C-alpha cells in the first residue's frame, strides 16, 4: 500500500524517535513495523529527509555504521520531538473521526 499524502514525514519522525537511524534503516523499519503493509518509495524518502533536516526537525551526523562504512545518521531534534507529538495527535484524531464516520453508516 502506498503511503497516504503527507504521512511520510510523520513516519520518518516516528522511525527515529527512539534512536538515530540512517536512511536505509528508516525505510526498512517502516516496512517491518507495518508488517510490509506500508512501502516507502525510496525516491521520495531522501528528499523528505533533507526537507525535514532543513526545517530543523531532524539532525544528521556522519558516523561509522555496523559494517564499517560511513553512513549518515538522522536523529530527532527538540523541535522534531514536538512536531512528532503534534502530528501524532492530529493523525489520531483524524483517523478516529474517519473511523467513526465509516462505522456509523
Partner 1 sequence: MFTDLYFRLRALVRRPTVERELDDELRFHLDHQIEKYVAAGMTPAEAARRARIEFGGVDQVMEACRDARGVSLVDTLLQDLRYGGRMLRRSPTFSCIAIATIALATAAIATVTSLADTLLWRHLRAADAATLVSVSATRGRPTEGVVSYPDYASFRDRATTVSGLAAHYSTAPLFVAVGATAKEVNGAVVSASYFPLLGLQPALGRFFHAEEDRVPDRDRVAVLGYDFWRTWFAADPSAVGSALTINGVPFTIVGVAPANPVALTPLPVNVYIPTMMLRVGYRWCKDSLASDCNTLGMVGRLAGGRSVAEAAAEFAAIMPERWRHAPIGENRGVAVRQPRGMSEDDEEPRLVATLGAVAILLLVVCCANLGGLLSAQAASRQDEFAIRVSLGAGPLRIVRQVITESLLLALAGGAGGLVLSRVFIGALSRMFFSMDDEGHPLVYDFSPSMPILLATLAAALAAGLLFSAVPAMTAVRRSSLRPLATRSTSARWAASRGLLAVQAAVAVALVATAALLASSARLVLTGRNYDASHVALMRLRPRLVQYTPERAQRFQREVVERLRAVPSVESVSMVGVGSILGGGTAKAALPGWPKELEMTVRYNEVGPAYFDTVRTPLIEGREFADSDTLQAPPVAVVNETLAARLWPTPAQATVGKPDGRWLDTVIVINGTPRQVVGVVADAAITSRTQAAQPWAYVPFWQNAGAIDSRIAVRTSGDPAALLPELAREVHPIDPAVPIADTITLPVQIAGLTRPVRVAALFIGYAAALAMLLTAIGLYGALAFAVSRRTKEIGIRLALGAARGRLVASIVREGLGVVLAGAAMGIVLAILASRLVASLLYGSAGSDWLFYAAAAAAVGVAGLGASLLPARRAAGVEPIVALRQE
Using CB under 8 A, count the residues that bind partner 1: 23
C-alpha 64, offset from chain centre = 22
Shortest separation between residue 102's beta carbon and partner 1, angstroms? 32
> Is there binding between residue 82 and partner 1 (CB under 8 A)?
no
State which of residues 33, 55, 95, 96 lies at the interface with partner 1 (CB under 8 A).
55
Contact 2, 62 (CB under 8 A): no
State which of residues 69, 103, 104, 105 lies at the interface with partner 1 (CB under 8 A).
69
Pick from 86, 18, 12, 2: nearest CA to 50: 12
Q: Which residues bind partner 1 (CB under 8 A)?
A: 22-24, 27, 41-44, 46-48, 50-51, 53-56, 62, 65, 69-72
Amino acid at each position: 500500500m502506498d503511503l497516504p499524502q503527507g504521512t511520510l514525514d510523520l513516519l520518518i519522525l516516528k522511525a527515529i524517535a527512539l534512536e538515530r537511524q540512517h536512511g536505509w534503516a528508516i525505510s526498512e523499519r517502516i516496512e517491518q513495523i507495518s508488517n510490509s503493509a506500508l512501502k516507502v518509495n525510496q525516491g521520495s524518502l531522501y528528499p523528505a529527509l533533507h526537507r525535514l533536516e532543513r526545517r530543523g526537525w531532524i539532525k544528521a551526523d556522519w558516523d561509522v555504521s555496523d559494517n564499517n562504512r560511513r553512513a549518515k545518521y538522522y536523529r530527532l531534534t527538540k523541535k522534531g520531538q514536538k512536531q512528532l507529538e503534534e502530528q501524532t495527535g492530529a493523525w489520531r484524531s483524524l483517523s478516529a473521526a474517519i473511523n467513526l464516520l465509516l462505522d456509523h453508516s
